[in-house]
Structure 1
């Protein structure tokens, strides 16, 4: 049977679903994406309000290598389709305990910035880069491969990596061998929040996250990160993919344990395979019958360690903040206490950490002339009994606005012209995120690799997962990687040779450093 006679339904038009569709269509498969919202992109999309534009979710665009290769495999160029700015400075860190760090991909300037806080730590920056360059290069083939059982973990080449990966160390412990000043360590570990975890619990492996920023840069897609998924959706349609919007998948259809398509609120769509890009915890409970989930039962999913959530303010304001960096992170004076409130106490901090994206300083398309679009995020506990957002929203909003003065923005209240607020309750209700956890299941050692839901969903035939809930995990680069892994498995199971080949050994350290991109 030819590949053109094979049909795949992708549930969800988020970045993982769109990337899967591109790769499958490139190999000649008939692909239909079903999306319950009125636009593609999922949380990696943009909304407009009163002339201002905001990304819902991701605002840092890192390590474009994976997506660039997916575009190339589909016959397109990421550079041409999605203009990007390489930011310098990458971001500014302001410490509640005093001092700040202006992070830059210029290594000489970065050493000087570290030296302002702790001269003896500056000399270890290059050691950090060298060691993590080696760590990433050696671990990358495993990030690009499926993990379907403990046997994959026990491969000799994986066991040889253990001394380098040091899974018994937390991220903070890993960084102590380079940086004595806790502020510097926080500057190289706050990225664990991309995984919804504390640096004091996150495995030390994830030191590669900050390494990626300093090795390959932090980028801003012109028009916001939503510009990426808008381009992907357009390319999907150019490649013949059908995208059905405003259509909710109610269930995956099965004959025995074999998926045969999906049932939506409007029709039944037959398919040879199904890619589930919807958030795993809620989608599995709703779409896969209980008798096919002996491992991933409703109770079992509920007992997993789920990530934190986020409190969001999207503010359209009068005036510009040209002296404030594109990305600014304020780390609370009692940062450990703030993390405890989020992860253990499940309460709202009196002194929250915040992140502010002032993208208008780089991109005039996001706000009317003379105005600014501000994206303000505070990490918070996922939904729990201790927080009632109907009661707690207004006072917590005031605390978050107060913190903006700590990064030099003064009191923005009188300048607000439009505003939207999202809480964990909104993430749960509007985006079907389990407990409002914006980073899916946490990336603890007992929930990584083969211990996450598998790319080839292990309890059924013909169901494949893409997105942050499966291997390798959350964050845009690894979500795109999940799409590559799952698409390859799907095609193999259908007896189709992929039209693309990603050579794992071809990791090129200069791949993006030499890209001809605009620099802020």
Structure 2
């Protein structure tokens, strides 16, 4: 197949790479412009001396979605990626109480009865009812919402009774579990959306269901390797990726995107523009405000944002006997969450996520050494926090908490390499609007039709992909956004359905074209 239409893509994050891979395989002339010297955005690789880290996501959930995208372009994901399942899923620590959930049902039920006697029936009910919800939600995540009538579909009408949209994640989990710690164990995933479980719509209990149903997976070399794999396929199909090539403006003529003005002064034309830059940053920086109507700067400032994160990456000069994923819960977890998302202050009693992939993946550190990634949820830059002043204070607080763990009691003396990313760094170095790491919040008034549309409202022939558009943040949903946006772009030229309109990609006959 051949299609000479040129698509200019702003940003080489996972969404931009996925949509570019789909379009390049269809014959579009794809050109990706990336401001950084590396690809991946928040899903990129960080190298400190001999140590390698993922900057953002540290696991991949539901690899079947990415497998389908690769299948749709005539490729096998596993020819590019070596994926390992993580078992147990993670270790959760509530003071001295430890809980290690497993995808293995027999192990999970045994762990539940040992740690939370009488709770296994609630877990089985959770898996049954949330599984039913997931079946309905999936169809909504795969369709575009570009007009209000998109709500009036059979899929939506069948899904509504199952969505629990007017409940909260915490409230929904209270129907399954009595122990507060168990509710936290199945609700902390709302932080993947940058939200509080006490405010996040009850629909999103499916996040913990997905972990327990499909597992968590680690690509050897880090989650960043998913981006490297897509970049390889893009180049195989003749697409172009330009790093160190920032975009200054989207060029708009008579309401239509016609190309890009690069920071180096060069103008590049495009029949279509796809924006993978952080949505808040793009709307407030990459357009002339006179070209916008719905998403002018003052309207973006009214949008609800996710929380941010303080990141500490350290290379440690010894092996560590730690779980792959570990969460240290605050003693007063609800207050900690409210500090982060509501009162917008630094919590005196924080929670930490600790990632230690070295045991499963020896490629990340020299033999006998380890990488350690620590994430502390913190308020975004709407809060009145001086991050230049707090940068070292928070580091000390994190290290003090880590040193409570027997395996990490002398962690300070073992650090060889180190990097910190604060909310201010997310904004200034990674171009994340207000440092809101998980983009726009996923409140009811910012979901589906009420989220920025995959086909950008304000400018024709301009499309969005990534966490700031439908269906939302998180790698699986970002890849779904790529599938939706590529369909919309293709279908504006073709009356027939695009080759990606079916969930499983090309038919066997269509796939053979690409082999």
1:460-475 pair list within 5 angstroms: 460-475=459-474
Name the CA distance, whole Å, in 2 between partners of 1:385 and 1:94.
Answer: 28
Task: Name the structure 2 match of 1:513.
Answer: none
Change (3 A) 1:168 1:473: same
How far the C-alpha of 1:145 sits from its partner, in A, is: 0.4
Task: Name the structure 1 match of 2:278.
Answer: 279
Task: Name the structure 1 match of 2:239.
Answer: 241
Task: Name the structure 2 match of 1:162.
Answer: 160
2:450 counterpart of 1:443: no
Of residues 374, 377, 380, the one that matches 2:378 is 380
8 A contact 1:105–1:215 mirrored in 2: yes
8 A contact 1:259–1:273 mirrored in 2: yes
1:143-182 pair list within 5 angstroms: 143-182=141-180
1:176-221: per-residue Cα shift (whole Å, max 9, x none)?
Answer: 1111111111111111111111111111111111111111110000
Task: Name the structure 2 match of 1:220.
Answer: 218
SS at match of 2:309: strand
Task: Name the structure 1 match of 2:15.
Answer: 16
Question: Alignment RMSD, CA only?
Answer: 1.6
Moved more, 419-428 or 118-127: 118-127
Count of matched residue pairs? 503
1:414-469: per-residue Cα shift (whole Å, max 9, x none)?
Answer: 11111000000000000111110100000011111111100001121100000000
8 A contact 2:252–2:459 mirrored in 1: no
How far the C-alpha of 1:153 sits from its partner, in A, is: 2.0
8 A contact 2:43–2:56 mirrored in 1: yes
Name the CA distance, whole Å, in 1 between partners of 2:129 and 2:421.
Answer: 39
Task: Name the structure 2 match of 1:516.
Answer: none
How far the C-alpha of 1:295 sits from its partner, in A, is: 1.4
Task: Name the structure 1 match of 2:510.
Answer: none
How far the C-alpha of 1:364 sits from its partner, in A, is: 0.6
Task: Name the structure 2 match of 1:190.
Answer: 188
Task: Name the structure 2 match of 1:478.
Answer: 477
Task: Name the structure 2 match of 1:290.
Answer: 289
Structure 2: which 5+ residue stretches go unaligned?
506-515
1:362-441 pair list within 5 angstroms: 362-408=360-406, 409-441=408-440
1:35-63: per-residue Cα shift (whole Å, max 9, x none)?
Answer: 01111111111121110001111102111
8 A contact 1:316–1:372 mirrored in 2: yes
Name the CA distance, whole Å, in 1 between partners of 2:158 and 2:243.
Answer: 47
Moved more, 274-283 or 132-141: 132-141
Change (3 A) 1:497 1:162: closer
Name the CA distance, whole Å, in 2 between partners of 1:81 and 1:500.
Answer: 23
Task: Name the structure 2 match of 1:70.
Answer: 69
8 A contact 2:139–2:155 mirrored in 1: no
How far the C-alpha of 1:499 sits from its partner, in A, is: 6.5
Name the CA distance, whole Å, in 1 between partners of 2:330 and 2:389.
Answer: 23
2:54 counterpart of 1:55: yes
Name the CA distance, whole Å, in 1 between partners of 2:89 and 2:396.
Answer: 28
Task: Name the structure 1 match of 2:27.
Answer: 28
8 A contact 1:3–1:496 mirrored in 2: no
2:103 counterpart of 1:105: yes
8 A contact 1:312–1:423 mirrored in 2: yes
Task: Name the structure 2 match of 1:344.
Answer: 342
Moved more, 296-305 or 477-486: 296-305
How far the C-alpha of 1:163 sits from its partner, in A, is: 2.0
Relative to the length of structure 2, the TM-score reads: 0.95
Name the CA distance, whole Å, in 1 between partners of 2:149 and 2:444.
Answer: 16
Structure 1: which 5+ residue stretches go unaligned?
507-520
Task: Name the structure 2 match of 1:319.
Answer: 318
How far the C-alpha of 1:497 sits from its partner, in A, is: 5.8
Name the CA distance, whole Å, in 2 between partners of 1:496 and 1:269.
Answer: 28
How far the C-alpha of 1:151 sits from its partner, in A, is: 1.9
1:447-462 pair list within 5 angstroms: 447-462=446-461
Name the CA distance, whole Å, in 2 between partners of 1:106 and 1:406.
Answer: 30
SS at match of 1:59: coil
Of residues 250, 253, 274, the one that matches 2:251 is 253
SS at match of 1:494: coil
